[in-house]
Structures are given as structure tokens and as C-alpha cells.
Structure 1
């Protein structure tokens, strides 16, 4: 009988991985042959306490691989390839010992099975709730993790009537089919044309932006949560509201999908906003957050001493193979800017997101920047075609703790329209 029991334990360890103790993790935490992997909700990795633990954030030095990334709705062929690339980037491979930690045995086993399908066999488990001394481990959180919120926080704040929630997307209500079909209960729709009017889709005037805020019922003293089906639009408006001076602007991490993944209901139809008479300021309070063309030229003149202009566009846009937009003819890049990557086309941002459209972890973003020659300790001004992608990256940099970064909101659209502005085309440094 004892032999059978021993055999079962051995087989269980081979098939599912074996448990590891807190002291064993402390011994191996700085060993490059051991990789700690946080399997929880991405928001918990960032700093939110969603599991009623005694500490918040992630174990210092750990990478992440959330159980939600194995949700079938995200695993199309493209995302499968991205996940495999991320395993390599995170150093998760067959030569390393992998410690999966979290609060759910089921989630850890699911991830373990996925890893094993990809040839990764040396797997150990660490359940935070089964190890009462887990707070002996060093934990860390992003400095401003609270501006990027989980769905549960939004639901709780809405129930207490502490926030105003808005859905943000392009198009009037006639065109906003996703919103009408199902949105967060009580959330009015915001058409991005209100903040960047066609046909050029450059940022509206300060006066009109404040009028827009008043029409939507947003004052500078409000707490606002933004979300959308296309998360990029939320970040675009978030930066503009911060620029105007709204005191508390947050974005739902993962957008509408995150709300649905949490099991919360949506409602159909249209919710109208309640206008107010006074925003609380006649002009933007945080003027340094959004730069104009002349201010960007001063950034370039600094020649990377303390400021860097970062290009958040696809590689093809960067080298001038395409403009990225049907309404932009001129192609190329701003001389003196540094490429910060983005995605494969003008509407995507894979390099900065997980496959469920949550923010990618800060260590990977910083490592990517350093490889590209971008010092995250300098003042970074981000631009893209017309401000959407760059605004999202700027917001992420604020989550990570940056306080002095900014947005060249009109980006390539404005720069390329001015024929007196220089441009460059072609590969850089032979690449």
C-alpha cells in the first residue's frame, strides 16, 4: 500500500508539478535558472488586491502569465503566436525551472498543462493562500497602478455612486453598434469626433474641449472611468481629460471584454449624459501634458539629452512603406525621433498589450525601450499618426510611475501636413 502511495505521489509530481515552500523560493529568487510566474489576474500583478491577501502586487522579479490569456475567446492563431513569443521573451523555456504561483490550483494546473504542451517540464507550484508565511517574500506594485482599474473595482465604485463611467468609441450613436448592443449599465457613449473633429481628426481647441466636458457632464472635480470595445479610444480621451485637469481619470484595464469576463451584465439601448454649466476651469490645467508642433521641435533640439521624441507606430510606417491611414499621403518619420514600436498596423498595439488587451508588464516595456535606445528615466514625448496609440502608451508610462512624459497629440498627421517640416524615409542603422 505504501509503495502504491509513493508511486501516486511521484506520478502526481511528474504530471502536475510539485509544491515549493516559501523558504525554497527565497533561496532561488535571484537564481537565473529559476523563473517565478504570476498566474493571477493581470490587475493583481499590477498592484490590486483582489484575493484578500496581506500584501499587494507581485513577487519582486516575477514575470506574469495570467490564466485569462488561456480563455478560448482570445486564442486565435495570431494570439497563439504572440503567446509563444512572450514565453521566449519572459525566459520561460525547457532549460529553466518554472515556479507558478497564485491563489487557484485550477488556474495553475491549466497554465502548467499549456507550458508542457510547449515543451516546458520543470514546473513547481506555490499557492499563496496555502503558505501563511508568503509575506516573507518581497512584493512590489506599480507606483500608479490605481489609475488602471479592474472590472470589480468599477462595479463596486458604481454601486456606491463614486464614479461616472463612459463608453468611448468612434462614431455617432447611429454608428456605435457595439455600444447600443451592450454597454456597462448607466454609461453614456462618447464619440471621439467630439475631441478630434473630422476631416483631419486633430485635437479640438481648448475652448471646445472644455465645452465638450460640460456637455458630457464632466467637471474637473469628478472621478471618471473610461472603457470601450476598442480600448485605445479610452486612453485617447483619458489623456485629454487629464490635460483639461479632471482630478481622477481611470481606464478599465482590458475594456468591455474585462467587464464581460468578470461575469457582469451589460444593457442595451442608449444612456444620455447630463450636461453641467461649469467644468471648473476656463482653460486646461495640465498644459504640459499635450505638446504642439513648436514644443515638439524644442524636444528634438534637446537631442536626447533629457528629452526623447518616441514614435509609436508600426515598422512599415516608421520606414515610410505606408502612411498607415487612408487620409494621410505623406510617408516617413520625424528626424531625430526614436522608434518605440507599437503593433503590426495603425490600429493595433500588440507590443504594449497582453492578448486580452490588458497592459503588458512594465519590466517588458522598459526592457523593450532600453533595447531601442529609449531611456525611461528621461522625459518622453510620444506620438503616432493622430494620437490614439501614443496616448495609450503615455497612460501606461504613468501607471509605471512616470510623471513628466507627454503626448504630441496631432503627431504624424500634423507634422507631415506641414511641407516645410523635414522627414526621413528608409531603414535606420542598416535595419
Structure 2
């Protein structure tokens, strides 16, 4: 199953009139102005998706900073973005798909297979010299029917022992994994047994995912193997989806821990480890 679509391929698809829903997931930790960025410039016809309100429920210490919303609510949002049965969805952002991958994962989890990430995001579209629009796009409502539980997930109880039976990857920056810096969560460090695997290392300087063979080499060095169950977490379950996309490109399946470290660190009974060791 393909994960990515290149800018030139997307432009040709749009020019052909093929049914395509473009979703702009402009969000970054510490930058609350995603909507304004979208209104200033976006791919022609792209609909804005608010990660904080449409791709997450309200923050809850027992579920994390960005808990997954109820399935019925997500279906309503998807229809509001104009997604219909038979459509192809392409999601993008302006941060190497670190945010857009959350939408990609959620649609996949809801049983919607025809969703892709624009490789390199908005920067790749700009670099190709393709046109941009400004202002708000309000699509006609779609009629897509979504389900759920199509992608593997784990919970905190499983995360506690996952490193004993498989491989638990921490997709945050290395300094957060080591506990040297923690900007948002109550405790610094990582889940015992986890291996540091910053998701930023999945892309090149241009924001595009590394080639599949390079990603396979990277993950193999970290201990990923076909016979080893792999799960991924991050701060709040957003960038971990990006790592799952990278693993899929490399040919490896992986489960998501949706609550991630924001859920884990809020429970004082959960151990937190600092330093570079597991």
C-alpha cells in the first residue's frame, strides 16, 4: 500500500480532474497560528483541518494531551472536509508531514485506505513552482462512512512491558528521551525499555521522507525486524504517527500508543527513566 504521493504526481492528478480531497493540517508544537498560515497560502482547493479540535479530543491527564476523538465525531469531521465514498485524500502540512501524518493514520485506522501524504508537504509543492491559493475553502459535505480499529494500537499497560517482548520506539527528540529537556509534560525522561528513534531523522533536509532502503537500514539498526512486534510513542501521539508512516515505507508494521508520554508521565505509578539507556 502506497503511503506517499509526489508533488508532480499530485499536480497531474488534480489537472486530470480525478476525485481528490486535499487536507491542510498546518500545526506545530508551540505555533498556534496554523489557520492563519493556511489562509495566507495553501494548495488550490485544500481544506483546513484543525489538529487540536478535529484530530484530538480535549486534553485529559489520564488519556494524554491529544487523545483520539470518538469515531462518530471523526466521521462527522471527515464529512465536513468534503470526503466522500470513492475519493482519494491527500494530506500535507509545512513541517515535513509531522502533523499531517496524524490525519493519515486516523483515516487509515478508520478503514479509509485511499489516503496519502504529500511527500515534502507544502515546501515540495512550492519548490516545484506549482500555484497556491489564499483564503478559506468551504467544501460541500461528503458522505464517507468510517469504521475503526484498522490499525494496531497499544495502551499504557502494554507499553509497560512492551520492551520485554518487542521493540518500543520513542519518536521524540533525543534530548526529551534522555530527560534533558521537557517543555510540556510533567516529568522528563522515557518509558522503561524504550529505544530513542527521533522521527525527525526519517526525513531529509528538504522535508521529504528518506528512500525506503535508507529507512529500512535505519530501523534495522534500531532493532526493528519482521519477527519483532514494534510499537511507537511520542509526546502526545502526533509525531508517532509520522514514525509509523516511515516504518510502513520501510516495509515494517507498527502499533501506536495513542496516549504516549503525556499520558504515561501523568500517572505517578508509572516509572520514568532518564539518560541514554533503556
TM-score, length of structure 2 as denominator length: 0.86
In the alignment, structure 1 residue 196 sits paired with structure 2 residue 56: yes
- Please state how far the C-alpha of 1:179 moved relative to its aligned partner: 1.1
Counterpart-to-counterpart distance in 2, 1:214 and 1:352: 31
Show the counterpart of 2:12.
156
Q: Establish whether residue 214 from structure 1 lines up as the match of residue 70 from structure 2.
A: no
> Per-residue deviation at 1:198?
4.5
1:321 and 2:180 correspond: yes
Q: Which residue of 2 aligns with 1:95?
A: none
* Helix, strand or coil at the partner of 1:184: coil
Q: CA separation in 1, counterparts of 2:103 and 2:177?
A: 25
The aligned counterpart of 2:264 is 415
| Structure 1 position 367 matched with structure 2 position 217 | yes
Report the Cα distance in structure 2 between the residues aligned to 1:150 and 1:333, rounded to whole angstroms.
35
Give the drift of 1:221.
Answer: 4.3
The CA RMSD measured in Å over matched residues stands at 2.4
Secondary structure (helix, strand or coil) at the match of 2:269 reads: coil
Structure 1, residues 270-304: CA drift from partner, whole Å, max 9, x if none?
A: 1013223x5324x4150x4333323434634xx23
* Mapped partners of 1:268, 1:195: distance in 2: 23
1:178 to 27, 34, 37: 37
SS at match of 2:49: strand
Query: Relative contact order: is structure 1 or structure 2 higher (C-alpha 8 Å, sep ≥ 6)?
Result: 2
Preserved CA contact (<8 Å) 1:221 1:246: no
Question: Alpha carbons of 1:207 and 1:314: their partners in 2 closer, same or farther (altered >3 Å)?
Answer: same
Give the alignment's TM-score, normalised by structure 1.
0.57
Higher-Rg member (1/2): 1
Measured at CA, do residues 152 and 427 of structure 1 come closer, stay the same or move farther in structure 2, by a change above 3 Å?
Answer: closer
Q: What's the offset of the Cα at 1:173?
A: 10
How far apart, CA to CA, are the structure 1 residues paired with 2:246 and 2:9? 19
State yes or no: 1:394 paired with 2:258: no
Alignment partners' CA distance in 2, 1:220 and 1:407: 26
Tell me if 1:291 matches 2:154: yes
Report deviation, 1:176.
Answer: 1.9
Alignment partner, residue 62 of structure 2: none
What are the within-5 Å matches in structure 2 for residues 23-422 of structure 1?
144=1, 146-159=2-15, 160-170=17-27, 175-193=34-52, 194-199=54-59, 200-219=65-84, 221-230=86-95, 231-276=97-142, 278-281=143-146, 283-286=147-150, 288-297=151-160, 299-300=162-163, 303-304=164-165, 307-323=166-182, 325-326=183-184, 328-342=185-199, 349=200, 351-375=201-225, 377-402=227-252, 404-422=253-271
Alignment check: 8 A CA contact 1:310 1:340 kept: yes
Q: CA deviation at 1:203?
A: 2.1
Unaligned runs of 5+ residues in structure 1 are 1-143, 343-348
Aligned mates of 1:352, 1:218 — CA distance in 2: 29
Instruction: Name the SS for the 2:176 alignment partner.
Output: helix
Q: Which has the higher helix share?
A: 1
Q: Which ranges in structure 2 are unaligned for 5 or more consecutive residues?
A: 60-64
